[in-house]
Amino acid sequence: MIVLLTSYLSYDNIHLLRHWSQHAQGKTMKHASTNAIQTFLLQCRQIIASKDIIPSTFVVIRSEKNKKTMLELGFTDKQLMAVLEELTLEDYAEGPRNDRDFRGTVWIFGKCIKNREVYIKLKISEMDEQGNEIATLICLSFHFSEKPLTYPYKEEE
């Protein structure tokens, strides 16, 4: 059976397509493919690069944990964006998984910053805060890890 997909492929449905494909083959996978991760990171970089043109395309959630970590690290939003732009396949921890609060999926990454592991949860939404239809990168979490993360694509040192 051949299925032709003609709709727009967004990052909210990559997980669904991957799951559907694996289910059809009788497989289950714990982590996203390297290609899916690289594609997600590329879109994140593109959104960050467009932030100066369209400011609403990048949002940082100001939770207490996020604010405390940013303060302890002495980070500005610009420095946080630089960390996100530098994320690689080796920083991937898990996802995409369903967002527990809103429609869509989230991706989890980790980064060692100033000898501390930072938990980073990202989401790409198809709408900005004002409801305009535009891809928006949302940094839901940027705080010190509460438990060690596992990095399935990190090479052993």
pLDDT in tens, 37-78: 999 999 999 999 887 666 668 889 999 999 999 999 999 999
In percent, the amount of the chain with pLDDT more than 70 equals 77
In-domain check, residue 48: yes
User: Is 155 inside a domain boundary?
Assistant: no
- Residue 3 lies inside a defined structural domain of this protein: no
Q: Is residue 118 included in any domain, yes or no? A: yes
Domain extent for 25: 11-144
pTM, to two decimals: 0.77
Give Cβ neighbours of residue 15 (< 8 Å, ≥ 6 apart). Answer: 32, 95, 96, 97, 105
| Domain CATH number, residue 42 | 3.30.2310.40
154, part of any domain = no
Residues 6+ apart with CB under 8 A from 38: 89
Task: Return the closest-CA partner of residue 99 out of 48, 61, 66, 153.
Answer: 61
Q: How many domains does the chain have?
A: 1
